[in-house]
């Protein structure tokens, strides 16, 4: 970061290995879809010598060559790792998806990283920057993760670096915009007829020297006339921002008093402030022109990463427990320590099979090592369950990914990342540890998938493979939830959004050969009696040998919501023998579970057995079960059956500007707003009760309504009566469908 002369560390054609944690830098690139993250990764790889001048590895692939889905959609849908070498360091560049549906991959990248580069496009609107990156910035701030900002697309017409730095200071700096300041000012060439002005170099604010990239190679020159005017003001502000974070409290008074501050002191304080997460430099970069070896600003970015961002030794490691939940001391980032590693991503390779991207927190992982794989599992009645799993397995091959290539590794030390094959049934989020001392790493936070996608097998061949394919898909992606709904008898994939759902179905088809059809998602309704009713069940049959004889009379009355089905025996005089009373109850409950009017379970009623008849020879358990069911059906025919729909408690956290639109939308969904609370950051928490039938596409609609700035969660509250007109339309629809 001090404008030194640099040479790249070539790594094309071979794996980049780390000697120890001190030489590793793990960096996640974060930003809105289209901000230029993948292009920036390729530019950094080119400058580091991992790509040739044409931006290719030796087989013609690029670092952005991933699965067919991404190439077809022109959008990253999964986390990708690109390791490069620079100045004796191994840099693991973690390119994260920018689209909101794939936030799970973004969170995985942040878990694997020790610092983050926020990539912001100067061609995008300021509101877009705020909507898509502010929440992630706040998440990083909450855990003290060091961050820097990279402005891209400055060569686009009507863009301004000065304006973008103001936007970044306002959005990311919050109460302290002087903690987000540029280290360099861009130098741009003449503006073309289309309004584009190419980025040709940078001027260092601490040194005053211009770094000229116009020839394709970085050269230092004196600043030209266009670069002199803004330098003093921007330089003074930067120096004051650095000094404000200095450990030397006398330095600010010295500087404000007219004293000079040594350049090496400033750089050292800058590096400490960046590593601690208290100062966030803004840089700019552009990809190399055809045939050039360096993109503009890429050397400065690599220097920031290696000198300003912390090594794994400087970052706190996640908490660990034993599999039964007993706390254990936090591991140390020591290659010689006990093994503690975590699967941060799971993918499938057509030739290798399942491949796990692993972050090693402690110890050293080697091929053929025995390890214990342990997963926490999932218990979520609303969105499915996944059992906890434990297994001892032997590690397969270790490799470093580079586009479509996998370059072999002989080890992965603490603090580093590697791909591991043949880890048995390991899933994303699982912990790898010593078989003699199994451990569990505290899981990272994942958002709840809130968009339901009901699926069914396309054909008989798909039906046989469906369960296994879905299970493997969910094991790879922790933001997917699989639900086997017993009430509706539907298989439901809960997704983050429509794009996430489309990618899940495409992977199911292309990876696992399972074709499915999407079907309308059904909400689990209930039935109840609107008023008291009586019914008589008579089951009498005679056909050679023993016949069937059972008669019972019941009374049914509605109960308060949430009561379920109560059964009361009030038979006197033995008209229904004692041994057959449970048979009547069994028949009643079986019929209640199957429904009466619409096939939905009957709830919130009391069924009282009043009287009946029996036969000494022909009465049986089966006969009285049938009579009990018939009695309940007859009672239902004599009254109105009311449909009950589930209602959700919904909490929407929304910027104040969109509160009115959100509340109006909830009202249009038959929702009742029950309260609002003011939250930090000019946001409001809206609490409402909304019928689940109106919530099917809410995840998609809310994102559109608030431009991606709001988020929500929901929980089951209760079932309540559905409006009569809606219930009647639903009955007609179901009858037509059945017909």
DSSP string of 414-458?
TT-EEEEE--TT--TT-EEE-TTS--EEPPPP-PPP-EEEEEEES
Do 38 and 111 have their domain in common?
yes
Looking at the structure, tell me whether residues 203 and 339 fall in a common domain: no
State residue 606's pLDDT score: 97
Separation between Cα atoms, residue 684 and residue 703, nearest integer Å: 16
Predicted local confidence at residue 382, as pLDDT: 45
Which residues in 100-198 belong to E strands, given as ranges? 115-121, 147-152, 180-182, 184-188
For residues 458 and 291, give the distance between their C-alpha atoms in angstroms, rounded to a whole number: 50
Q: Is residue 232 part of a domain?
A: yes
Q: Within this chain, do residues 599 and 676 fall inside the same structural domain, yes or no?
A: no
- pLDDT reading at 150 higher than 90: yes
Burial bucket for residue 516 (CB in 10 Å: 0-12, 13-18, 19+): buried
**Residue 8 pLDDT greater than 60, yes or no:** no
Q: Is residue 657 part of a domain?
A: yes
> What pLDDT is recorded for position 158?
81
Strand bridging mode 180-182 / 184-188: unpaired
Residue 15 in contact with residue 54, Cβ under 8 Å?
A: no
Q: Does residue 349 surpass a pLDDT of 60?
A: yes
Angle formed at CA 110 by CA 655 and CA 373, multiple of 5 degrees: 130
Burial (Cβ within 10 Å: 0-12, 13-18, ≥19) of residue 647: buried
Spatial CB neighbours of 505, under 8 Å, sequence gap ≥ 6: 453, 455, 516, 518
The reported pLDDT for the residue numbered 227 is 46
Q: Are the beta carbons of 303 and 106 closer than 8 angstroms? A: no
Q: Are residues 535 and 513 in the same domain?
A: no
Q: Which pairs with CB-CB distance under 8 Å and at least 24 residues apart come from 669-676?
A: 669/694, 669/695, 669/698, 670/694, 670/723
The pLDDT value recorded for residue 671 is 97
Considering the domain architecture, whether residues 633 and 647 belong to the same structural domain is answered as: no
Q: What pLDDT score does 10 carry?
A: 47
Whole-angstrom distance, CA of residue 516 vs CA of residue 498: 16
The larger pLDDT score, comparing residue 194 to residue 96, is at 96
Identify the domain boundary among 314, 336, 358: 314
Query: For residue range 353-376, what is the model confidence (pLDDT) as tens digits?
Result: 789 999 999 999 999 999 999 987
CB-CB neighbours of 736 under 10 Å: 8
Residues 585, 731, single domain; the answer is no
| Residue of 523, 563, 558 whose CA lies nearest to 726 | 523
Question: CA triplet 231, 236, 240: central angle to 5 degrees?
Answer: 150
| 56-65 residue pLDDT tens | 555 445 565 5
pLDDT at 330 over 70: yes
* Distant-in-sequence, close-in-space partners of 122: CB < 8 Å, separation ≥ 6: 151, 152, 153, 154, 156, 159, 160, 161, 164
Q: What pLDDT score was predicted for residue 424?
A: 80
pLDDT class of 69 with cuts at 50, 70, 90: low
Give the tens place of pLDDT for each residue, 451-485: 999 999 999 999 989 999 998 899 889 899 999 99
pLDDT tier for residue 708 given thresholds of 50, 70 and 90: confident
Of the candidate ranges 101-110, 251-260, 469-478, 703-712, the one whose mean pLDDT is the lowest: 251-260
What's the mean pLDDT in 43-50?
90
**Domain CATH number, residue 345:** 2.40.30.10
| pLDDT of 139 over the 90 cut | no
Where among 263, 296, 314 does a domain terminate? 314
Both tokens of residue 406? 């996998």
Instruction: Answer with the one of 441, 459, 491 that is the final residue of a domain.
Output: 441
Residue 602 backbone dihedrals phi, psi, to 5 degrees: -90, 135
Classify each residue of 340-367 as buried b or exposed e, where b means 16 or more C-beta atoms within 10 Å of its C-beta: bbbbbbbbbeeeeebbbbbbbbbbbbeb
Going by pLDDT thresholds of 50, 70 and 90, the confidence category of residue 130 is low
pLDDT of residue 226: 52
Closest CA to 633 of 602, 666, 677: 602
- pLDDT-derived band at 530 (thresholds 50, 70, 90) equals very high
Give the pLDDT of residue 60.
Answer: 47
Q: Which pair of structure tokens corresponds to residue 695? A: 């919530």
Classify residue 696: in a domain, yes or no. Answer: yes
Element (H, E) at 658: none
Rounded to the nearest integer, the mean pLDDT of the chain is 88
Q: Which domain holds residue 32?
A: 21-236+279-314
* Per-residue pLDDT at 5: 41
Closest CA to 514 of 327, 317, 720, 348: 348
253: in domain: no
Phi (first) and psi of residue 483, to 5 degrees: -125, 130
Q: Are residues 577 and 543 in the same domain?
A: yes
Q: Which of 561, 551, 566 is nearest to 607 (CA)?
A: 566
595 assigned to some structural domain: yes
Tell me, yes or no, whether 537 and 566 share the same domain: yes
**Helix/strand/coil for 31:** coil
- The band of 52, judged by pLDDT with boundaries at 50, 70 and 90, is low
Same domain, 285 and 424: no
Mean of the pLDDT values across residues 675-704? 94
DSSP string, 517-541: EEEPPPP--EEEESS-EEEEEEEEE
Q: What is the pLDDT of residues 501-520, one digit of tens each?
A: 999 999 999 888 999 999 99
Residues 6+ apart with CB under 8 A from 384: 378, 481, 482, 483, 484, 492, 494
pLDDT band at 542 (very low <50, low <70, confident <90, very high): confident
Q: How many Cα neighbours within 13 Å face the side chain of 309?
A: 29
What mean pLDDT is predicted for residues 121-131? 71
**CA angle, 178 then 180 then 182, to 5°:** 105
What's the confidence (pLDDT) of residue 447?
Answer: 86
CATH number at residue 713: 3.30.70.240
Give residue-wise pLDDT tens across range 615-669: 988 999 999 999 999 999 999 999 999 999 999 999 999 999 999 999 999 999 9
Residue 77 pLDDT greater than 90, yes or no: no
pLDDT band of 131, cuts 50, 70, 90 = low
Shared domain for 202 and 92, answered yes or no, is yes
Q: What is the pLDDT of residue 11?
A: 47
Residue predicted with more confidence, 208 or 25: 25
Cα distance between residue 438 and residue 511, in whole Å: 32
List the single range of 143-152, 158-167, 189-198, 719-728 with lowest mean pLDDT.
Answer: 189-198
Q: Are 288 and 215 in contact (CB under 8 A)?
A: no
CA distance 302 to 29: 13
Q: Residue 467 in 3-state DSSP? A: helix
Confidence of residue 406 (pLDDT cuts 50, 70, 90): confident
Residue 407 has pLDDT above 70, yes or no: yes
User: How far from 280 is each of 115, 169, 203, 558, CA to CA, in Å?
Assistant: 11, 9, 18, 64
Q: What percent of the chain has pLDDT over 70?
A: 89
Mark whether 135 and 172 lie in a shared domain.
yes
Task: Determine the pLDDT at residue 24.
Answer: 97
Count of helix runs (H) and strand runs (E) in the chain: 17, 39
| pLDDT exceeds cutoff 70 at 249 | yes
In-domain check, residue 488: yes
Q: Is residue 330 part of a domain?
A: yes
Q: What is the pLDDT of residue 429?
A: 92
Residues 197 and 80 in one domain: yes
Write b or e for each residue in 36-64: b if 16 or more Cβ atoms lie within 10 A of its Cβ, otherwise e. Answer: bbbbbbbbbbbbbbbbeeebbbeeeebbb
- In a domain, residue 125? The reply is yes
- Looking at the structure of the chain, the number of domains it has is 5
Percent of the chain with pLDDT over 90: 60
- CATH number of the domain to which 106 belongs: 3.40.50.300
Mean pLDDT over residues 206-213, rounded?
A: 88
Strand segments, DSSP code E, in 31-88 are 80-86
For residue 4, what pLDDT is reported?
A: 43
């Amino acid at each position: 970061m001090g404008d030194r002369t640099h040479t790249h560390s070539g790594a094309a054609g071979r794996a980049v290995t780390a000697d120890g944690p001190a030489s590793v830098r793990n960096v996640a690139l974060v930003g809105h879809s289209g901000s230029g993250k993948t292009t920036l990764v390729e530019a950094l790889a080119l400058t580091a010598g991992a790509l040739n001048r044409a931006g290719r590895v030796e087989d013609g692939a690029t670092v952005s060559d991933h699965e067919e889905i991404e190439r077809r959609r022109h959008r990253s849908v999964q986390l990708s790792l690109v390791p490069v070498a620079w100045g004796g360091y191994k840099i693991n560049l973690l390119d994260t998806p920018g689209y909101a549906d794939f936030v799970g991959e973004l969170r995985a990248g942040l878990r694997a990283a020790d610092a983050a580069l926020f990539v912001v496009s100067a061609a995008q609107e300021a509101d877009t920057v705020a909507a898509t990156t502010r929440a992630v910035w706040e998440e990083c701030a909450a855990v003290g993760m060091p961050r820097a900002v990279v402005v891209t697309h400055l060569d686009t017409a009507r863009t301004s670096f000065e304006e973008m730095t103001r936007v970044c200071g306002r959005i990311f700096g919050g109460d302290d915009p002087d903690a987000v300041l540029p280290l360099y000012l861009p130098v741009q060439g003449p503006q073309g007829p289309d309004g584009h002005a190419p980025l040709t170099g940078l001027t260092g604010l601490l040194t005053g020297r211009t770094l000229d990239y116009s020839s394709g190679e970085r050269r230092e020159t004196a600043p030209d006339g266009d670069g002199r005017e803004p330098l003093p003001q921007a330089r003074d502000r930067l120096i004051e921002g650095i000094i404000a974070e200095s450990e030397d409290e006398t330095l600010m008074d010295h500087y404000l008093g007219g004293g000079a501050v040594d350049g090496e002191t400033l750089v050292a304080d800058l590096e400490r402030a960046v590593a601690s997460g208290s100062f966030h430099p803004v840089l700019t970069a552009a990809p190399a022109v055809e045939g050039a070896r360096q993109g503009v600003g890429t050397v400065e970015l690599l220097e920031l990463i290696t000198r300003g961002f912390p090594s794994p030794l400087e970052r706190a490691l996640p908490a660990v427990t034993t599999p039964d939940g007993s706390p254990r001391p936090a591991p140390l980032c020591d290659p010689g320590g006990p093994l503690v590693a975590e699967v941060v991503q799971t993918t499938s390779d057509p030739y290798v099979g399942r491949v796990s991207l692993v972050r090693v927190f402690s110890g050293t992982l080697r091929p053929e090592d025995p390890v214990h794989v342990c997963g926490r599992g999932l218990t979520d009645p609303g969105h499915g369950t996944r059992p906890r799993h434990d297994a001892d397995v032997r590690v397969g091959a270790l490799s470093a990914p580079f586009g479509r290539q996998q370059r072999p590794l002989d080890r992965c030390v603490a603090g580093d990342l590697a791909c591991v094959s043949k880890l048995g049934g390991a899933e994303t989020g699982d912990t790898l540890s010593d078989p003699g001392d199994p451990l569990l790493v505290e899981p990272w936070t994942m958002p709840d998938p809130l968009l339901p996608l009901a699926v069914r097998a396309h054909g008989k061949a798909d039906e046989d493979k469906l369960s296994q394919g879905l299970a493997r898909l969910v094991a790879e992606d922790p933001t997917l939830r699989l639900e086997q709904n017993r009430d509706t008898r539907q298989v439901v994939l809960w997704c983050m959004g429509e794009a996430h759902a489309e990618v899940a179905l495409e992977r199911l088809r292309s990876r696992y050969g399972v074709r499915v059809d999407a079907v309308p998602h059904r909400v689990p309704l209930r039935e109840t009696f609107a008023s008291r009713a009586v019914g008589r069940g008579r089951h009498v049959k005679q056909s050679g040998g023993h016949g069937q004889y059972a008669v019972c009379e019941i009374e049914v009355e509605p109960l308060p919501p949430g009561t379920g089905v109560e059964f009361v025996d009030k038979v006197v005089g033995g008209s229904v023998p004692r041994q057959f009373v449970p048979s009547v109850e069994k028949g009643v409950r079986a019929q209640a579970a199957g429904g009466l009017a619409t096939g939905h379970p009957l709830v919130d009623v009391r069924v009282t057995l009043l009287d009946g008849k029996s036969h000494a020879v022909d009465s049986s358990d089966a006969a009285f079960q049938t009579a009990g069911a018939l009695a309940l059906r007859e009672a239902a025919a004599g009254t109105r059956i009311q449909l009950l729909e589930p209602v959700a408690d919904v909490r929407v956290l929304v910027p104040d500007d969109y509160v009115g639109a959100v509340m109006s939308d909830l009202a249009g969904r038959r929702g009742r707003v029950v309260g609002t609370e003011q939250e930090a950051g000019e946001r409001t928490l809206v609490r409402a009760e909304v019928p689940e039938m109106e919530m099917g596409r809410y995840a998609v609609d809310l994102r559109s309504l608030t431009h991606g700035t709001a988020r929500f969660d929901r929980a089951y509250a209760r079932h309540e009566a559905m409006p009569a007109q809606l219930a009647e339309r639903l009955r007609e629809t179901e009858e037509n469908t059945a017909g």
